[in-house]
Structure 1
Amino acid sequence: MKLLFVADPLESFKTYKDTTFSMMREAARRGHQIWACEPKDLVWRQGSRVVARAARAITLTGDAHDWFAVATTAELALADTDAIVMRKDPPFDSEFFYATHLLGQAEREGARVFNKPAALRDHPEKLAILEFPQYITPTLVTRSEEAIRAFHAEHRDIILKPLDGMGGMGIFRVGPDGLNLGSITETLNKGGAETVMVQRYLPEIVKGDKRVLVIGGQVVPFCLARIPQGSEVRGNLAVGGKGVAQAISARDREIAEALGPILAARGLLLVGLDVIGDCLTEINVTSPTCFQEIHDQTGFDVPKMFIDALEAALAAR
């Protein structure tokens, strides 16, 4: 098969932990052709099809640093591939949004895109949990400083975060003393111009912010608990959290098995659920990670499960 990965620059990959790289490696092991481009390479012109300018066909070298070699560079029509794997990292900004529309046009021309572009737009990673209130901690979404103060007065210990953050960026905890609540609110809501998510603090974060993966509607039996270090309240690996792979709990499985078939039916082949304690906190659909950490620590072959699911989805067409 000819697979096109739409991703960040290949030169930026940290191959020892990069999930997209692990997907490519497994696909290459099976003999599939690997092509890559960036969202900025996508072009549509009237009377033609969506193409990736200067798409690169690559081979994997096995070298940890110079990990790929370019076999050829060409303009590639997306509909001439067998599958497109959209793996551009957040933030979900205007350019990401526009890329999903170009990928949607490619679908109309016959391309197969995973995750489905419309589903990416319909499931913003923080707000997607609102559909499943039975699994989440008390949560408020608002621009209003007054509403945030009332939420704090009720719950006493809260987390505030921007809706467009990633990797733990812009997350604040305010305890019972309310120290700096006004300043934090003003910083996040830009004086009432932007919407903020506020949640009751979950003390179980000390045991980790668990990434539970769902592939083709099926639950990966191991998760990665990202454990805050030192005085840090965030477990994100990007801010120094320690990743510890572990078997998923009964509650993790309950949440994942409830959401998995629903999300898969909407065109989300790969989903990363974030769970703290017993509560769902985010639904990650843009470029969920942790494949290699789980594989390295448990031996469970997550990349194999993903490529199996991708091949099955293409065969079922």
Structure 2
Amino acid sequence: MNKKKILKIGIVMDPIQLIKIEKDSSFAILLEAQKRHHEIYYMELNDLYLQKNHAYAKTRLIKIQKKINNYFSFIQEKNILLNQLDVILMRKDPPFNMEFIYATYILERAEEAGVLIINKPKSLRDCNEKIFASLFYKFIPDTLVTRNISQIYNFWKKHKDIIIKPLDSMGGSSVFRIKEDDENFIVISEVMTNYEKKYCMIQTYLPSVKDGDKRILIVNGQIIPWCIARIPKKGENRANIAAGGIAKIRKLHKKDWEIANYLSPILQEKGLVFVGLDIIGDKLTEINITSPTCICEIESHTNISVSGMLLDYIENQIY
């Protein structure tokens, strides 16, 4: 049997110095890549650049280990053409802003030069995590995307209990619940829309969030049969783990499978290899494509290696 090629795997992520390795999905993926003896080239957003129409980056070869206070070391720093890499994982967390979009343009040049980019740069631009979900209207709660306060007011008066959130954020940041007769409606709407200069997503409040905001992972169309239900802490509307939510492992229900099976081929077609679906009750609320999390929680409670599935896909594409 021929010995497998050592791959050159790049990753674009937030500063590794700031992650929590026991929960960080990027770290779990890198551990799996290193276990398979691949070379890992670490990058941050400001390391990417274009020159003479070629994509480059300042990279650092990195070694990692599961030691809380000493979990990474940089071995070598050098500027390289990105087409020297076999694959690049784009794992930069939101905000989804123009800097993020500019980075996808640079990564697209590397893709044109033959590098596998996960997820596909064009789809990272096209499929905003909030608005993309609204395409699948039969699965989502009643939803409004607007920056017009009068429209938000009418939606609120109709539904009486709503959630308002930004289109470019993550982790439950700046998510507000506005109940019937809430005296803070105007100030929340003004702040969230920046006085009608910024679009927001408004959805009906789903009481079933108290039973968990489910994160379902999909790898190259394969649906992981276990999900993480994020339970809001007492007195909190947001279930996000970053906002203090408690994670519980659960099997997928019938409606979870229906939604995931419907979306899976669409995601594959768009080159969205690693995706996280957020489902509350029987309603799809978001489609996470930038840097889906919850690998560690699933791998620690089941015999499923999500990171292994992702590396299998990468190797099958390149070998």
TM range (shorter): over 0.9
Cα distance in 2, alignment partners of residues 14 and 128 from structure 1? 29
Deviation per CA, 1:74-113: give whole Å up to 9, x if none. 1121111110111111111121111001101111222221
Aligned partner (choices 246, 264, 271) of residue 268 of structure 2: 264
Deviation per CA, 1:211-244: give whole Å up to 9, x if none. 1111101101111111100100000111101011
Aligned partner (choices 33, 46, 54) of residue 49 of structure 1: 54
Query: Match for residue 211 of structure 1?
Result: 215
Deviation, 1:313, is 3.2
Whether 1:72 aligns to 2:71 is: no
Whether 1:247 aligns to 2:251 is: yes
Whether 1:40 aligns to 2:46 is: yes
Cα distance in 2, alignment partners of residues 253 and 147 from structure 1? 34
Contact residue 218 and residue 257 of structure 1 kept, 8 A: no
Contact residue 31 and residue 65 of structure 2 kept, 8 A: no
Whether 1:142 aligns to 2:146 is: yes
Whether 1:17 aligns to 2:61 is: no
Q: From the superposition, tell whether residues 69 and 178 of structure 1 become closer, same or farther in structure 2 (CA, over 3 Å).
A: closer
Contact residue 139 and residue 283 of structure 2 kept, 8 A: yes
Contact residue 21 and residue 66 of structure 2 kept, 8 A: no
Moved more, 306-315 or 201-210: 306-315
Aligned length: 313
Query: Match for residue 232 of structure 2?
Result: 228
Amino acid at match of 1:49: H
Deviation, 1:301, is 1.6
Cα distance in 1, alignment partners of residues 141 and 276 from structure 2? 18
Contact residue 158 and residue 198 of structure 1 kept, 8 A: yes
Aligned partner (choices 129, 135, 147) of residue 131 of structure 1: 135
Cα distance in 2, alignment partners of residues 230 and 187 from structure 1? 25
**What TM-score does the superposition give when structure 2 sets the normalisation length?**
0.95
Query: Match for residue 14 of structure 2?
Result: 8
Amino acid at match of 2:48: L
Cα distance in 2, alignment partners of residues 309 and 26 from structure 1? 13
Cα distance in 1, alignment partners of residues 200 and 20 from structure 2? 32
Aligned partner (choices 110, 115, 118) of residue 111 of structure 1: 115
Runs (4 or more) in structure 1 with deviation over 4 Å come to: none
Aligned partner (choices 21, 28, 36) of residue 34 of structure 2: 28
Amino acid at match of 1:141: V
Cα distance in 2, alignment partners of residues 150 and 62 from structure 1? 51
Amino acid at match of 2:134: L
Cα distance in 2, alignment partners of residues 313 and 304 from structure 1? 14
Deviation, 1:183, is 1.5
Moved more, 55-64 or 207-216: 55-64
Cα distance in 1, alignment partners of residues 209 and 318 from structure 2? 38
Contact residue 159 and residue 199 of structure 1 kept, 8 A: yes
**SS where residue 133 of structure 1 aligns?**
coil
Aligned-residue Cα RMSD (Å) equals 1.3
**SS where residue 164 of structure 1 aligns?**
coil
Amino acid at match of 2:27: F
Query: Match for residue 3 of structure 2?
Result: none
Contact residue 272 and residue 288 of structure 1 kept, 8 A: yes
Deviation, 1:24, is 0.6
Query: Match for residue 282 of structure 1?
Result: 286
Moved more, 56-65 or 16-25: 56-65
Cα distance in 2, alignment partners of residues 81 and 74 from structure 1? 13
Amino acid at match of 1:92: F
**SS where residue 50 of structure 1 aligns?**
strand
Deviation, 1:314, is 3.1
Deviation, 1:143, is 1.4
Q: Structure 2: 5+ residue runs without aligned partners?
A: 1-6
Whether 1:177 aligns to 2:181 is: yes
Cα distance in 2, alignment partners of residues 215 and 89 from structure 1? 18
Cα distance in 2, alignment partners of residues 148 and 185 from structure 1? 8
Write the mapping of 1:291-306 to structure 2, written as runs, cut at 5 A.
291-306=295-310
Moved more, 100-109 or 225-234: 100-109
Q: Structure 1: 5+ residue runs without aligned partners?
A: none
Deviation, 1:167, is 0.9
Cα distance in 2, alignment partners of residues 277 and 248 from structure 1? 11
**SS where residue 165 of structure 1 aligns?**
coil
**What TM-score does the superposition give when structure 1 sets the normalisation length?**
0.95
Cα distance in 2, alignment partners of residues 143 and 121 from structure 1? 21
Contact residue 104 and residue 121 of structure 2 kept, 8 A: yes
Amino acid at match of 1:236: N
Identity of aligned residues (%): 42
